[in-house]
Amino acid sequence: MDHLKQKMKPTVKVLLLVSCLTVFLVFMSGYLKDTPLSLDVGSGSPCQQCLSDDQWFAARFNKSVEPFLSAEHTLPKDAFNWWKYLQNEKRSYDVYSETVRNLFQVFPATPNVQKPSPNHCRTCAVVGNSGNLKGSCYGPLINSHNIILRMNTGRTTGYEADVGHRTTHRIMYPESGMDLDDDTHLVLFPFKIQDLEWVTKALTTGFFGTSYMPVRHKIKANKDLVMVINPAFMKYVHETWLEKRGGYPSTGFMSLIMALHICDEVHVFGFGADKDGNWNHYWEELRNKKLKTGLHPGTHEYETILRLARHLKIKFYMGS
């Protein structure tokens, strides 16, 4: 009997993949009949144009805000003063500036961002970690995008049918650090000076320090593909998009707004709470039944995502 069960397991996996592929083909046949929802990226782009007179979006989207740090960038002191209170940073602006200079001795002076082109539409899949991805069969659709952003420790192995297997950008902070493939961008969301020190040392000599939870001593990643989110961008998302609600934006929401700045079409998967209002992950059972959305303004974030979809700025997939 055990031998029979072992034989059945691959068959079940094949049936699941065939089922998901069938759902995907049916979905795409209907999807391609409609014009995809996309960002308004200006004339000359092959992407579909959205409403150019959208006052709600125009009041929030500020293209001049740089999402990433670069060697030429100087962080305004008001942005530093906002940022340092996120995790009670005690060190000074001068220490921050010196740390950033050291960072760009190791990593590229300018971020590796694909530039807009009249002949190419940059399509992004922003893949959150919500439990609503289970049974969604979105995997093939997610894999079809040019840029695929995943957050923190979001898993793919064993979940390919629902979440896909490709990752071009992995967004993390030290407490969620992990090894990456050589062709995957490491996108660091720093919440304190130590986070900037961590990414430099974790990819070179090794990091020795403590945080509110264990931090990896070393990780594997391509140093040429490291990108660091600008603290001023984090402040912009908190103040402009979330109207200063909550402690600070979630990693997922900041990733979504980042995608609006670097992509022509933004497709969003894996966002939303469970039926009890808790954020949960598709790869594990939620233990804290009173979690809700933690320090983050989860309800407002979700309402903003729905509004972006209604305003045709993103395509939002709600899951199963």
* Mean pLDDT, the chain cut into blocks of 10 residues (320 residues total): 46 54 47 36 47 80 96 95 95 98 97 87 95 94 97 96 98 96 98 98 96 94 98 97 92 96 96 77 69 65 94 92
Give the domain range for residue 28. Answer: 1-34
At position 18, the amino acid (one-letter code) is: V
Indicate whether 41 and 28 sit together in one domain: no
Q: Which residues contact 262 (CB under 8 A, 6 or more apart)?
A: 67, 113, 114, 122, 124, 147
Indicate whether 44 and 24 sit together in one domain: no
What pLDDT is stored for residue 269 in this prediction? 98
Which residues are known binding-site members for substrate? 87, 129, 152, 212, 248, 252, 272, 281, 296
CA distances from 217 to 214, 231, 304 (A): 9, 24, 37
What pLDDT is stored for residue 273 in this prediction? 77
CA distances from 8 to 1, 16, 76, 157, 246 (A): 11, 12, 60, 20, 48
pTM of the model: 0.84
Strands 315-316 and 185-188 come out as unpaired
Indicate whether 155 and 20 sit together in one domain: no
Indicate whether 3 and 40 sit together in one domain: no
What pLDDT is stored for residue 39 in this prediction? 33
Indicate whether 4 and 147 sit together in one domain: no
What pLDDT is stored for residue 173 in this prediction? 95
| CA–CA distance, 133 with 119 (Å, rounded to integer) | 33
Indicate whether 27 and 91 sit together in one domain: no
Residue 296 known to be catalytic? yes
What pLDDT is stored for residue 44 in this prediction? 41
Indicate whether 24 and 172 sit together in one domain: no
Residue 282 known to be catalytic? no
- Total domains in the chain come to 2
What pLDDT is stored for residue 276 in this prediction? 67
* Annotated active-site residue in 169, 238, 261, 296: 296
What pLDDT is stored for residue 285 in this prediction? 74
What pLDDT is stored for residue 170 in this prediction? 98
Indicate whether 5 and 125 sit together in one domain: no
* Annotated active-site residue in 248, 261, 282, 317: 248
**CATH number, domain at 235?**
3.90.1480.20
Indicate whether 25 and 136 sit together in one domain: no
DSSP 293: T
